[in-house]
């Protein structure tokens, strides 16, 4: 199981921050995000029973995508002050579980997840735990995506066929979908005036961005005009949307074997001030 640490930590933080429940520990450090992160992680591990686990993180706010497009994620606000110290605390907890923390400056957690997933031995089944639908593009016969739903322990598991059933396109077409319709949360526009419904219809007809461009004369006049006017941004948006799967990171299976040292983890919970989580730890020292 590859865990999108950023997605879990942010989701956990904002679920309680909106009502001001920051759960300060004895040192005055907020722990609400870390507390929820651990609950999400333990719930998923208990529910899906992976033999190996790794957690991937962003390492800074700037990546190679900012070099391609300076406005990439420029609409994002700085992390709240209450969240900033929780990044390192979350990694400390992960280390206490003897789970690898994976990240590389200049790349996003998604890129690390994609690289590990695509380079895993072909007989290994990979599940990705996240709340970020961008990762759906990584789904293949070997890789499934566990999407967090509201609350804890609630998931929607996507494989190739469930995604096609929901979207009408295949995982590998998700990059082209974002290229066409853009992504407001990441602050790139795609093709102005092309929404999801039109983008899906075009991909169903012509398979890819390249196929659509080759058949511009077969599109409606409005569709053709919009794509021709934003052709450069279309190509750029596709490069921004694509998860990079050749990042120089690695995670050996033997380093990610999930073997829980209950005493070590409990001590870290006590040190950080994470109350109520001890009961979620399995009695068996090895959970695999």
Position 286 in a domain: no
- Is 165 a member of any domain? no
Task: Say which residue the tokens 């591990």 belong to.
Answer: 45
> How many domains does the chain divide into?
2
How would residue 282 be classed by pLDDT, with cut points 50, 70 and 90? confident
Mean pLDDT on 13-31: 93
Same domain (yes/no): 80, 153? yes
Above 50 in pLDDT, residue 288? no
Token code pair at residue 216: 């511009």
**Residues 88 and 212 reside in one and the same domain:** no
Does the structure show a pLDDT above 90 at 285?
A: no
pLDDT tens-digit profile of 136-193? 999 999 999 999 999 899 999 999 999 999 999 999 999 999 999 999 999 999 999 9
H-type helices in the chain, by residue range?
A: 5-17, 32-48, 64-68, 84-96, 109-118, 160-167, 174-181, 196-206, 209-214, 221-229, 231-241, 253-256, 262-272
What pLDDT digit, counting tens, does each position of 211-262 carry?
A: 999 999 999 999 999 999 999 999 999 999 999 999 999 899 999 999 999 9
- Looking up tokens 């990694």 gives 91
For residues 203 and 150, state if they share a domain: no
Residues 234 and 154 grouped into a single domain? no
CATH number at residue 147: 3.40.50.1010
Tell me the C-alpha distance between 40 and 9, whole Å: 9
Residues whose CB is less than 8 angstroms from the CB of residue 178 and which lie 6 or more positions away in sequence, other chains included: 134, 190, 237, 238, 241
Distance set, CA 17 to CA 11, 32, 79, 250, 253 (Å): 10, 8, 12, 34, 36
pLDDT at 284: 55
Contact 18, 82 (CB under 8 A): no
- 211 within some domain: yes
Residue with tokens 């400056």: 105
CATH number at residue 193: 1.10.150.20
Same structural domain for residues 155 and 181? no
Name which of 148, 119, 155 is nearest 252 in CA terms. 119
pLDDT, residue 97, reads 97
% of the chain exceeding 70 in pLDDT: 98
Q: Quick one: 142 and 48 in the same domain?
A: yes
- Residue 12 included in any domain: yes
Residue 149 lies in a domain: yes
CA atoms of 17 and 286, how far apart (whole Å): 34
63 and 206 fall within a common domain: no
Is residue 282 assigned to a domain?
A: no
Among candidate residues 109, 111, 137, 142, the one with its CA nearest the CA of residue 127: 142
Same domain, 119 and 189: no
Provide the domain limits for residue 128. Answer: 2-160+244-277
Both 58 and 184 in a single domain?
A: no
Tell whether 137 is covered by a domain: yes
Q: Compute the distance between CA of residue 212 and CA of residue 214 in angstroms, rounded to an integer.
A: 5
pLDDT of residue 287: 44
| Residue 284: inside a domain | no
Q: What's the confidence (pLDDT) of residue 18?
A: 85
Alpha carbon distances (Å) from 237 to 15, 19, 24, 223, 247: 30, 36, 41, 17, 20
Specify whether 90 is located in the same domain as 142.
Answer: yes
- Is 147 found in the same domain as 78? yes
Q: Tell whether 105 and 119 lie within a shared domain.
A: yes
pLDDT-based confidence at residue 102 (cuts at 50, 70, 90):
very high
């Amino acid at each position: 199981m590859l865990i999108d640490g950023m997605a879990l930590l942010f989701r956990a933080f904002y679920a309680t921050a909106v009502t001001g429940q920051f759960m300060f520990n004895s040192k005055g450090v907020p722990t609400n995000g870390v507390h929820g992160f651990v609950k999400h992680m333990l719930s998923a591990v208990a529910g899906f029973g992976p033999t190996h686990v790794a957690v991937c993180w962003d390492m800074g706010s700037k990546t190679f995508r900012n070099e391609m497009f300076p406005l990439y994620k420029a609409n994002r606000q700085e992390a709240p002050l209450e969240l900033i110290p929780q990044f390192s605390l979350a990694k400390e907890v992960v280390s206490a579980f003897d789970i690898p923390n994976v990240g590389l400056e200049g790349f996003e957690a998604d890129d690390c997840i994609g690289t590990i997933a695509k380079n895993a031995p072909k007989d290994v089944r990979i599940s990705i735990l996240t709340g970020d639908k961008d990762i759906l593009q990584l789904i293949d016969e070997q890789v499934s995506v566990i999407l967090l739903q509201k609350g804890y322990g609630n998931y929607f598991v996507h494989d190739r066929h469930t995604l096609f059933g929901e979207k009408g396109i295949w995982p590998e077409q998700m990059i082209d979908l974002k290229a066409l319709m853009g992504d407001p949360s990441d602050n790139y526009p795609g093709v102005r005036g092309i929404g999801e419904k039109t983008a899906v219809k075009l991909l169903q007809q012509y398979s890819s961005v390249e196929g659509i461009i080759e058949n511009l004369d077969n599109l409606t006049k409005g569709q053709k005009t919009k794509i021709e006017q934003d052709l450069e941004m279309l190509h750029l948006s596709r490069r921004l949307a694509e998860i990079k799967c050749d990042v120089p990171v690695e995670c050996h299976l033997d380093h990610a074997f999930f073997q829980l040292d209950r005493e070590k983890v409990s001590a870290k919970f006590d040190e950080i001030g994470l109350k109520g989580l001890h009961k979620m730890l399995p009695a068996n020292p090895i959970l695999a």
